[in-house]
Homo-oligomer: A and B are copies of this chain.
């Protein structure tokens, strides 16, 4: 194992000392030991068909985002980190499937997760197994996303301390066979503080730490009045969102709870960093000009870029 890690992490050699501890990514499944082969179906990778330690053993940062096109945009980290090669030679690792796209730039792995808890959960099961088979350790995983803000200026970044459900409870309920299992959704507090500290370097947009509500639905489930179905009044909607605000919720999205739960169980230090595209106390529709939306979506990307460069000892403030 040691030799594999040494082989695969050449590009990280000079930065090794910046990593403290030695926390391997783990799985919580005794059945995996008895499997001769594990096919990571939705990633089009497998333990027999791919040398996962050689391909991924040096991964220290995993950036996950909703859509695949925006993953390509993250290729800029390559340039930012001063790694060799052009953007063009960054190939999608999951070419054999159209479910997810994955890119690797030195110690940074980027993968998209689609929309909603089920979609990110499939990706996370297979990603965590991948990192486990690749014998990765001290891995930080960050979800970079968009969200609806509550009571804060659009364009703000919310770093999640705890993901909460639609009843404002800090938990993720999962149905396993016939049973409802409740899991913890707290995220890594030190990592959140470290990210907040990084945000001081990009003062052009506000960044704060807060609770994030994670829902199963974008329309009625988030109190929107503009879906194909709506069974409540504007007053009921505002009452709900204001109560959410009072409990410390600052934004709403659709993946954070299962992300926090699964990463916490499997030894990944995890953060959720989302920009808000609107203030839900004021409106439901996302009707900003495209250039403003694109600019907003770059806010978390800028922050994460600084964070990774700092961690790698490559940050040079301009």
State whether A266 touches B226 (Cβ < 8 A).
no
| Contact among B67, B98, B116, B167 for A70, CB-based, below 8 A | B98
User: Which residues on the B side are within 8 Å of A287 (C-beta)?
Assistant: 37, 39
A14 contacts across to B, CB distance below 8 A: none
Within the complex, the shortest CB–CB distance from A216 to chain B, in Å, comes to 5
With an 8 A cutoff between CB atoms, is A20 at the interface? no
Interface magnitude class on chain A = 35 or more
Beta-carbon contacts under 8 Å, A196-244 to B:
215-221, 223, 225-232, 234, 236-237, 240
Residue contact A174 to B226, C-beta cutoff 8 Å: no
In the bound complex, do residue B286 and residue A39 qualify as a contact, i.e. CB atoms below 8 Å apart? Answer: yes
A313 proximal to B (CB < 8 A): no
For the complex, is A85 an interface residue (Cβ under 8 Å from B)? no
Q: Is residue A285 within 8 Å, beta carbon to beta carbon, of the partner chain?
A: yes
Q: Is residue A119 within 8 Å, beta carbon to beta carbon, of the partner chain? A: yes
* Contact code string A157-170 (vs B, CB < 8 Å = 1, else 0): 00000000011000
Which parts of A230-275 form the interface with B (CB within 8 Å)?
230-232, 234, 236-237, 240, 254, 262, 265-266
Q: Give the number of copies in the complex.
A: 2
Q: Quick check: B226 and A31 within 8 Å, CB to CB?
A: yes
Residues on B with C-beta less than 8 A from A128 are 228
> Which A82-121 residues have a C-beta within 8 angstroms of B?
96, 98-99, 114-119, 121
Contact check, A29 vs B229: say whether CB atoms are below 8 A apart. Answer: yes
- Chain B residues with CB under 8 Å of A55's CB are none
A138 to B15, CA, bound (A): 63
A52 at the interface (CB under 8 A from B): no
Whether the pair A119, B125 counts as a contact (CB closer than 8 A) is no
Q: Hey, which chain B residues are within 8 Å of A231, CB to CB?
A: 28, 176, 181
Is B217's CB under 8 angstroms from A174's CB? yes
Min CB distance A232 to B, Å, is: 6
A4: interface (CB < 8 Å): no
8 A-B pairs in the complex with CB atoms less than 8 angstroms apart: A29-B225, A29-B229, A29-B230, A115-B119, A116-B116, A125-B227, A125-B229, A174-B217
Query: Apart from A99-B115, A125-B227, A175-B216, what 12 extra A-B contacts exist at CB < 8 Å?
Result: A29-B228, A42-B218, A114-B115, A115-B122, A116-B116, A125-B218, A129-B228, A166-B175, A174-B217, A175-B215, A176-B220, A177-B220
